[in-house]
Amino acid sequence: MHTPPWFASSLLVIPNRICLIQRQYSLSPLNHLPMQTPSPEGNPSGQPQKKSAFTRFLDAVEWLGNLLPHPVTLFALFAFGVVLLSGVADYFGLSAIDPRPEGARGRAPDGVIEVVSLLNGDGLRRIVENLVTNFTGFVPLGTVLVALLGVGVAEKSGLISAAIRALVLAAASFRVLEIPSVEGKSGLRKVIALYLNIPGLRLIHEKLVFPFLNFILEPRRLVTVTIVFAGVVSNTASEMGYVVLVPLAAVIFLALGRHPLAGLAAAFAGVSGGYSANLLIGTIDPLLAGITEEAARLIDPGYTVHPAVNWYFMIASTFLITAIGTFVTLKIVEPKLGPYDPSRASEDLSDDNSMEPVTAREKHGLKMAGLAVLGVSFAIFMSAYPEWGVLRNPETGDVLDSPLLRGMVALIFVFFLIPGYVYGRATGTMKSDRDVIEGMAKAMSTLGLYIVLVFFAAQFVAFFGWSNLGPIVAVKGADFLVAINLTGPMVFVPFILMCCFVNLMLGSASAQWAITAPIFVPMLMLIGYSPEVIQAAYRIGDSTTNIITPMMSYFGLILAFATRYDRKLGIGTIIATMLPYSMFFLIGWVLLFYLWVFGLGLPVGPGSPTYYIP
């Protein structure tokens, strides 16, 4: 999955900041953009259509989910429920054998995972003593606050407003590609026109190439593809996808006359649902590889697993997730959401500023900000790429396990702060340090509900971790899978489904794999499968249910941002919106896994065998 804790990781933070941004550039897009609001896909007339069985199922999920109380109340009840449940489970002696090897970190000396009751004197004392530190130590709290200090400066200067308007207006001005005539052309343009008009090739370009390009480059599809793809690859930059891309995707969709929740869903699906797909190796890869290696050594003491063992499969998965995410957004999510009703939004979206063209001064500011981005990028590159780079691991020289990636939030802060200030100086919107401070202060000024929700979410996460309920459920589920005694390639189907289920409760990819790997890696190795393939299958289950579980650390941020566009929105709406992505990702990813590994016989990564041979 991702970062640790859980849900509210960052609630009201971004929503309120983005609302301020929207007042500058995305309001009433239907009245100001030279575009029409797209009618639901496959319904050009805009007339109501009979709902399919799948849509009715999603409506039922949404209705049931929205019966739940306010998120703050819900997680206060969750925290209280964990305390009660831990007491009941302890009374009945619930426990499980810890599958991790003796001496492993976190393993009890007797090798038994027992429920820790919070409903006794020791438990209550622990709650009282750690109530404050649970809150202040909640990781996403600091992550979002620090990142938004930089975002606040960029918003105050007008950089984000100008950049979004430039992007939206450029998309709105898209023209259909046609084969050019040779007449009036010269130089390279004439050469290209001559090539495209060669009789045999012209027919191919007219019937195949240009229709395909126009299909992909049509603004509605191109924006969706770009957002989902950017979400997937943003995983390399850790929290950037949640803190930056998800809220901006909603803004872009709104400015294009589309439902903002569809944009939010597309970005969230790419960032979180596609967590195990990427073009690059990320910080989670060496962590999972280390756990897999330790589990494999229970069978083969000399076995080694390197961080890139799933890289080939990850690259292929990136394009699969992008395609599926785009399809689900266009064909399922947008039609279900229907046309956006601005009256459902919070009052912060009520201003009616126009989507005005970017002025000459703003264009100059964007150029200067672009130079600032290049400068910051070069400085970061020089601090990490050379062997002497100060942001490399000082002991090993490694880039994956280094201050560069562990300090990504600080880099996001700088990435918005410096270009935002440069833009402000170039356009005259920032004249002194007071303007910078004002931008940061505004970014922190609307965090009341966020802080309240984070407080209760942090208690729930801490209580659940103390109780050991999560690891016990994971081990019991693994024991069941072992008991059904499947062999052959089909063994990976229940394995992946079990990982999906456990992922709903354990919000950390490494924590879940640390518990389940010592069971499944040896078990599947004994029937002939390599640890590398087993890890690839695990990552499918670990990713696909991220987007539908409140246990995921940034789920609260997504919910809070969505409520800015629908003040009555509840958890059920978010889960029902994301459920199609989860289902289609799971089906498509499993099919790709079987085709890749067993159909084509391709390795999942460099030096990664499919079968284990002792």
* Domain identity same for 468 and 515: yes
Q: In whole angstroms, what is the distance from residue 196 CA to residue 166 CA? A: 31
Predicted pLDDT at 349: 54
In 3D space, the residue among 548, 582, 457 whose CA is nearest the CA of residue 4 turns out to be 457
Predicted pLDDT at 487: 67
Contact 396, 130 (CB under 8 A): no
In a domain, 562, yes or no: yes
Domain boundary among 202, 217, 232: 217
* Domain identity same for 104 and 190: no
For the chain, give the mean pLDDT: 80
Tokens standing for residue 73: 């109340």
Q: In whole angstroms, what is the distance from residue 160 CA to residue 97 CA? A: 53
In 3D space, the residue among 301, 14, 260 whose CA is nearest the CA of residue 144 turns out to be 14
SS3 95: strand
> Alpha carbon of 218 to those of 22, 222, 292, 482: distances in Å?
24, 6, 44, 49
Within 10 Å of residue 122's Cβ, how many Cβ atoms? 11
* Domain identity same for 166 and 194: no
Query: What distance, in Å, lies between the first and last C-alpha atoms of the chain?
Result: 31
| Plot region of 3 (φ>0 → left; ψ -120 to 50 → alpha; else → beta) | beta
> Alpha carbon of 77 to those of 80, 156, 568, 574: distances in Å?
5, 38, 20, 20
Predicted pLDDT at 461: 78
Q: In whole angstroms, what is the distance from residue 259 CA to residue 573 CA? A: 14
- Alpha-carbon radius of gyration of the chain: 26
Could you give the count of Cα atoms lying within 13 Å of 263 in the half-sphere of its Cβ?
24
Domain that holds residue 334: 13-42+69-174+218-599
Q: Note the Cα 121 to chain centre separation in Å.
A: 40
In a domain, 100, yes or no: yes
In a domain, 133, yes or no: yes
> Alpha carbon of 578 to those of 270, 321, 533, 537, 583: distances in Å?
11, 14, 28, 22, 9
Contact 475, 114 (CB under 8 A): no
Q: Note the Cα 37 to chain centre separation in Å.
A: 27
Residue linked to tokens 């050379």:
386
In 3D space, the residue among 460, 461, 462, 467 whose CA is nearest the CA of residue 113 turns out to be 467
In a domain, 61, yes or no: no
SS3 477: helix
Within 10 Å of residue 231's Cβ, how many Cβ atoms? 27
In 3D space, the residue among 309, 244, 319 whose CA is nearest the CA of residue 279 turns out to be 319
Domain boundary among 217, 237, 268: 217
In a domain, 59, yes or no: no
Q: In whole angstroms, what is the distance from residue 607 CA to residue 609 CA? A: 6
SS3 7: coil
Provide the domain count of the chain.
Answer: 2
Predicted pLDDT at 16: 45
Write out pLDDT tens, residues 10-30.
333 434 444 444 444 333 343
The enclosing H or E element of 97 equals strand 95-97
Contact 1, 275 (CB under 8 A): yes
* Domain identity same for 80 and 189: no
Q: In whole angstroms, what is the distance from residue 417 CA to residue 413 CA? A: 6
SS3 2: strand
> What does DSSP assign to residue 96?
E
Contact 572, 63 (CB under 8 A): yes
Tokens standing for residue 80: 């209280």
* Domain identity same for 465 and 338: yes
In 3D space, the residue among 265, 276, 323 whose CA is nearest the CA of residue 579 turns out to be 265
Q: Name the pTM for this structure.
A: 0.71
* Domain identity same for 407 and 264: yes
* Domain identity same for 101 and 212: no
* Domain identity same for 501 and 555: yes
In a domain, 566, yes or no: yes
The enclosing H or E element of 70 equals none
* Domain identity same for 145 and 30: yes
Predicted pLDDT at 468: 86
DSSP track, 215-251:
HHHSHHHHHHHHHHHHHHHGGGGTTHIIIIIHHHHHH
In a domain, 3, yes or no: no
* Domain identity same for 449 and 560: yes
Single-letter code of the amino acid located at 602: L
Task: Name the band, by pLDDT with cuts 50, 70 and 90, for residue 175.
Answer: low
Write out pLDDT tens, residues 257-287.
889 999 999 999 999 888 888 887 776 787 7
* Domain identity same for 304 and 285: yes
Residue linked to tokens 């490399």:
392
In a domain, 558, yes or no: yes
In 3D space, the residue among 198, 85, 30 whose CA is nearest the CA of residue 470 turns out to be 85
Contact 583, 166 (CB under 8 A): no
* Sequence-distant (≥ 6) Cβ neighbours of residue 438 within 8 angstroms: 156
Write out pLDDT tens, residues 523-558.
888 778 899 999 999 999 988 988 888 777 777 778
Average the pLDDT over 39-68 and give the result.
Answer: 67
pLDDT at 598 over 50: yes
Task: Name the band, by pLDDT with cuts 50, 70 and 90, for residue 127.
Answer: very high
Tokens standing for residue 189: 């343009």
DSSP track, 508-572:
BHHHHHHHHHHHHHHHHHHTTB-HHHHHHHHHHHHHHTGGG-TTSTTHHHHHHHHHTT-TT--HH
Predicted pLDDT at 125: 95
The enclosing H or E element of 272 equals none
Q: In whole angstroms, what is the distance from residue 70 CA to residue 87 CA? A: 26
Q: In whole angstroms, what is the distance from residue 581 CA to residue 597 CA? A: 23
Share of the chain above pLDDT 70, in %: 84
Task: Name the band, by pLDDT with cuts 50, 70 and 90, for residue 171.
Answer: low
Write out pLDDT tens, residues 139-150.
667 777 887 788
Single-letter code of the amino acid located at 110: D
Average the pLDDT over 418-447 and give the result.
Answer: 88
Query: Between vectors from CA 593 to CA 591 and to CA 596, what angle results, nearest 5°?
Result: 105
* Domain identity same for 211 and 334: no
Report residue 391: phi and psi, to 5°. -95, 5
Q: In whole angstroms, what is the distance from residue 80 CA to residue 123 CA? A: 12
Task: Name the band, by pLDDT with cuts 50, 70 and 90, for residue 48.
Answer: low
Domain boundary among 191, 217, 243: 217
Contact 554, 272 (CB under 8 A): yes
